[in-house]
Chains A and B, each alone.
Chain A
Amino acid sequence: METPSDQPPSPGGFFRSWRRLYAAVLLTALSVYVLLFAFSRIFAP
């Protein structure tokens, strides 16, 4: 497991830390699940 001193440079751009990027990935995944649920319910009631 990595320690804080092992942290590689930040991912850059909007995401100033890896934690923010990982949080963005997981939030995007959650949004996709919700969108798919909505898609199913709208077109396949």
Chain B
Amino acid sequence: MNKLSPVIALVSLILLSGLSILSALAFGAADINLLQTLGALRLSGSEPFVEQIIWQLRMPRTLLAFIAGGGLAVAGLMLQTVTRNPLADPYLFGISSGAAVGVVLFVAFSGAGIFHVAQLSLSVAAFIGSLVAMALLLAVSGTAVAKQVESMLLAGVALSFLFSAITSVTLYWSDPQAISAVLFWTMGSFSRAQWPHLVLPGILLVTVLLSILCLRRQFTALLLGDESAITLGVNVRRFRLLMLLLSSLLTASLVSVCGGIGFVGLMIPHVVRFFISQAQPLTPVLVCLLGGLFMVWVDVLSRLLLANQELPVGIITGLFGSLFFLGLMYMRQHRYQE
């Protein structure tokens, strides 16, 4: 069962992340090579055109991809731990469908096409939608400890369905252009990334990471069941609500700027657990880095796979993510049998 050294994993992930972000900057519609990229980064004697593309378009986009991947993976880790459900992910609880409802209702009732509205108001609408979903979920799951997990999971699934129904109904009466725009948005994309978009998710990600690093023992204690955690002095009900609140806020802030990107939150924590025990203090950091790394490359693929067109990020995470995950499970199964 013993595994990789967490410190080695940390160092290599940090190095890989740095390299990946650098090289991701060199990919895109405009032909800019790695040397030009490095030149633009050092702000030394490169063409202002290249500089502008790198600093105004690709840099915020790549960093947003990194923060989104890391944030979703950490949120997934938190929810899987506090519900002890290996299938929990940030979208299971209706947070992304809440955001979609916010956007769709906003577009439908403001009467403007999705590309004519200010980006910020769209993000605000999405954020409000997620917050509504989160508030409903918290209201239902504030119950007694023994039933908390069950009511969280069931209410989350019910909310997701409810919100999808509202989205579908609203789209049904909207014009086709709005539909395709909203559809693209719900499948996730980093193409609208700007520097201001990074602020809230970035702050939240750092806050969440710091708090689970501080509360790591409580976090691990939950893996032996509520009753055992209580005997170790953990206020399980309050702790679980706090984790739900933090992960939902993080997810909502991400969904509101880059749409729904499934599967990262579900998969990355499991991938890390294949190699490193969840009780290791560094595990949340590793999950965050690996999620970010994964998403940076997913974004690169989304720009490269089709010429002159972008594939929604959610499709790629779903496709490659699940194949990779299935492969890993297959290999692990074989290792057990030997």
A joins B in a complex: no
List the interface of chain B (C-beta within 8 A of A): none
Interface residues of A (CB under 8 A from B): none
